[in-house]
Amino acid sequence: MDKYLYDQMHERLQTRKAKQMKKLRWATVEPVIGTLVNSLGIRRVNTREIKPANKCVLMASVC
């Protein structure tokens, strides 16, 4: 049904820029999220909107 969208995304992810962005993300963002999940136990943010969720993650990051 939405296979054409999947195919478009897959093609975009094969580009050189997408691969560079993935490397950058894995070097900067993913270790922080891994630390929050594994060390602090932040597996779920129990808020409904984006502002409270940002606040929750920010406070966990500061801790």
Q: What is the pLDDT of residues 14-60, one digit of tens each?
A: 999 999 999 999 998 888 888 888 887 788 888 889 999 889 888 88
Q: Is the pLDDT of residue 11 over 90?
A: yes
Could you tell me if 20 and 2 are in contact, meaning their C-beta atoms sit under 8 angstroms apart?
no
For position 39, what pLDDT does the model report? Answer: 81
Q: What's the half-sphere exposure (Cβ side, CA atoms, 13 Å) at 44? A: 3
For position 8, what pLDDT does the model report? Answer: 94
Domain ranges of the chain: 3-62
